[in-house]
Amino acid sequence: MERLDKILAATGKWSRKEAKALIKAGRVKVEGETPKGPEDKVAEGALVTVDGHPVNTDKFVYIMLHKPDGVVSSTEDPREQTVLTLLPKELRRIGLFPVGRLDKDTEGLLLLTNDGQLAHRLLAPGKHVDKVYYTEVEGALDPSDCEAFETGITLADGTECLPARLELLEEANQALVTLREGKYHQVKRMLASRGKPVTYLKRLSMGSLKLDPMLPPGRWRYLTDEEKADLGL
């Protein structure tokens, strides 16, 4: 059970003050009934409407963003455009954050949520959630690179990476990389250590969640019920 004004404010569409005003103006209904006031307790899953339109009262929000090149994965930045600016205003004030970061010039799948537990489940070291990237490099990749990835690459600064997978594609400068960890600039540093610097990088998946091929760079959508179920939600 949660206060009605709090539920409305959690959507990001209205401030707490605006939610109270809507309720007092009689524009809000709970299961078709007019509530007594903003402090009314509402059960999880109850149908709440504003001016007859149903309101999504889910506690947490899960968004798939196709991150474009040129925006940073943080929620605030004094100089750079952040991924949050790609969302509508009401979704920028409900505490969403990216689950794992992509570099400014990396494109692809970014999951945004305000569910800290899910973020922990996907990111905590030792959870080993597979992340798949498509990459293009300078030079030509060959089977010796695949073997090095499988054995475990040691980065220039001595950091040892877990065994990873490098899958060669038709063009010798293109490959798929599967990582089970997420060190800073990891794909770029792994390929740099092979003398084949990355020229393009795009994340395709994270665990069960795959970038929707219909979602162009810069666009977002809510996760489907199936995608949420596959993440154990």
CB closer to ligand URA out of 148 and 187: 187
186 binds ligand URA (CB under 6 A): yes
β-bridge partners, 177: 133, 166
Task: Classify residue 97 by its DSSP letter.
Answer: E
**Cα–Cα distance for residue pair 209/190, rounded to 1 Å:** 24
166 binds ligand URA (CB under 6 A): no
136 binds ligand URA (CB under 6 A): no
Q: Based on the number of CB atoms within 10 Å of its own CB, is 54 exposed (0-12), middle (13-18) or buried (19 or more)? A: exposed
103 binds ligand URA (CB under 6 A): yes
Binding segment (CB under 6 A) for ligand URA, from list 40-48, 90-98, 149-157, 180-188: 180-188
- Among the listed residues 58, 77, 103, 230, the single catalytic one is 103
Q: Which candidate, 116, 102, 18, places its Cα nearest to that of 59?
A: 116
Known catalytic membership, residue 145: no
Tell me the site size for ligand URA, rule CB under 6 A: 8
**Cα–Cα distance for residue pair 230/233, rounded to 1 Å:** 7
Binding segment (CB under 6 A) for ligand URA, from list 27-35, 84-92, 100-108, 162-170: 100-108
66 binds ligand URA (CB under 6 A): no
196 binds ligand URA (CB under 6 A): no
Task: Classify residue 90 by its DSSP letter.
Answer: G
**Cα–Cα distance for residue pair 100/120, rounded to 1 Å:** 10
Beta carbons of 105 and 201 less than 8 angstroms apart: yes
201 binds ligand URA (CB under 6 A): yes
Residues near ligand URA, by CB under 6 A: 102-103, 106, 185-188, 201
Active site residues: 103
